[in-house]
């Protein structure tokens, strides 16, 4: 892929990569830090909508799942509502992504409920169907939007929208597409960027992939910008080690010696253990996981850091089912009061 060129976005345009609100983090998370990683996601989301701009675009996967708890829906709505009311001249666009919709027509998604809440906001635009899309212009650049749709291929969506709104050299198209062609595996690639429809475009912007990149599609000579996710959500999504870091045990201990016990407080740490090395007894970090370094690769290790206690097992079990730390604590207290009464 040619990565030397870049899409030049006009000043005043803000892109928000896949937020995945409602995502829960439990693997290797110490009890004291449960819920903190989720709060960091919310803070980044709020920061994006606090940005002063002319056009703000969320490229899809607003929510992590088809259905998330009500508090996640309301958090997204209140954040965007407050931004929209405070900045009436800013247009806010939110695309439907593949995590936001389902092929089960009997169910209502959290994204659908969110879109209903936003109906009264004139400068908030939810892009989730075929209806003729409004073109937003910033400077000399026009933006046209293509949602992920559960019963239509990316090609079909593009054909329908482009039939009403032609694309020219001033148009940047924005969607939630695959950048890799899987047709060799299953004779289909329904969400692949429909390059044939966009050969006259100024550029292509897509969410969906969590690692940011830019490349030139050589057949059409159109640049593609992959936004990446709002935050890295795993070690594989964080090549710059902004929030996720992988170290040998020796490297970890050296950094602790140099920086003190709070060195990794805001990091998700993965430790590569050599044969015979023991896991850390404890570490002040957002999450801690281990891989055993093997001759042919690496192997995940499940290590329980907290000392065994009934309360620890109780809390971890409820966390796995998405119960908030506050409610879990209340249930624990009630269970102990019940035991005392007996």
156 and 187 assigned to the same domain: yes
Flag the least confident range among 41-45, 105-109, 117-121, 316-320.
Answer: 316-320
74 token code pair:
């309301």
321 token code pair:
């089912």
| Torsion, CA 203, CA 208, CA 213, CA 219, rounded to 10 | -50
Are the C-beta atoms of 178 and 139 separated by less than 8 Å? no
Q: Domain range spanning residue 161?
A: 13-226
Which DSSP category does 279 fall into? P
* Per-residue pLDDT at 294 exceeds 80: no
281 and 315 assigned to the same domain: no
> Residue 315: how many CA atoms within 13 Å on its side-chain side?
20
Mean pLDDT taken over the chain: 87
> Could you tell me which residue, 98 or 323, shows the higher pLDDT?
98
178 and 45 assigned to the same domain: yes
Quote the CA–CA distance of 82 and 290 in Å, as a whole number: 41
Flag the least confident range among 28-32, 150-154, 157-161, 208-212.
Answer: 28-32
Closest CA to 222 of 197, 253, 245: 197
* Per-residue pLDDT at 170 exceeds 60: yes
Is pTM beyond 0.85? Reply is no
Look at residue 5 and tell me if it is in a domain. no
Quote the CA–CA distance of 137 and 144 in Å, as a whole number: 9
Look at residue 2 and tell me if it is in a domain. no
Beta strand 141-145 pairing with 171-175:
parallel
Look at residue 292 and tell me if it is in a domain. yes
Three-state secondary-structure class, residue 26: coil
169 and 245 assigned to the same domain: no
Look at residue 318 and tell me if it is in a domain. yes
Helices 310-320, 325-341: crossing angle, 10 deg rounding: 140
Look at residue 36 and tell me if it is in a domain. yes
Which DSSP category does 221 fall into? T
For range 255-272, the mean pLDDT: 95
184 and 52 assigned to the same domain: yes
């Amino acid at each position: 892929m040619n990565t030397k060129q870049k899409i030049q976005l006009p000043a005043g345009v803000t892109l928000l990569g896949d937020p995945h609100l409602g995502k829960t983090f439990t693997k290797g998370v110490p009890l004291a830090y449960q819920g903190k990683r989720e709060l960091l996601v919310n803070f980044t989301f709020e920061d994006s909508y606090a940005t002063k701009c002319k056009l703000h675009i969320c490229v899809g996967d607003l929510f992590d799942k088809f259905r998330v708890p009500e508090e996640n829906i309301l958090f997204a709505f209140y954040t965007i509502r407050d931004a929209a009311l405070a900045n009436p001249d800013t247009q806010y666009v939110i695309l439907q992504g593949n995590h936001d919709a389902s092929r089960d027509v009997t169910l209502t998604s959290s994204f659908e409920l969110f879109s209903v809440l936003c109906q009264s906001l004139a400068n908030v635009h939810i892009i989730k169907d075929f209806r003729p899309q409004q073109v937003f212009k910033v400077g000399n650049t026009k933006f046209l939007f293509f949602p992920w749709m559960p019963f239509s291929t990316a090609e079909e969506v593009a054909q329908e929208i482009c039939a009403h709104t032609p694309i020219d050299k001033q148009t940047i198209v924005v969607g939630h597409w695959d950048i890799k062609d899987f047709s060799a595996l299953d004779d289909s690639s329904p969400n692949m960027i429909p390059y044939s429809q966009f050969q006259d475009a100024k550029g292509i912007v897509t969410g969906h992939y969590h690692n940011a990149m830019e490349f030139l599609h050589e057949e059409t000579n159109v640049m593609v910008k992959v936004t990446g996710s709002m935050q890295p959500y795993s070690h594989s999504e964080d090549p710059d080690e902004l929030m996720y870091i992988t170290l040998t045990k020796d490297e970890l201990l050296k950094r602790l010696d140099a920086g003190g016990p709070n060195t990794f407080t805001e990091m998700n740490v993965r430790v590569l253990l050599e044969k015979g090395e023991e896991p850390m007894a404890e570490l002040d970090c957002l999450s801690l996981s281990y891989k055993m370094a093997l001759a042919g690769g690496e192997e995940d290790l499940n290590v329980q850091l907290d000392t065994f206690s009934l309360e620890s097992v109780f809390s971890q079990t409820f966390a796995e089912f998405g119960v908030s730390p506050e409610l879990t604590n209340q249930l624990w207290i009630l269970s102990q009061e019940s035991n005392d009464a007996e």
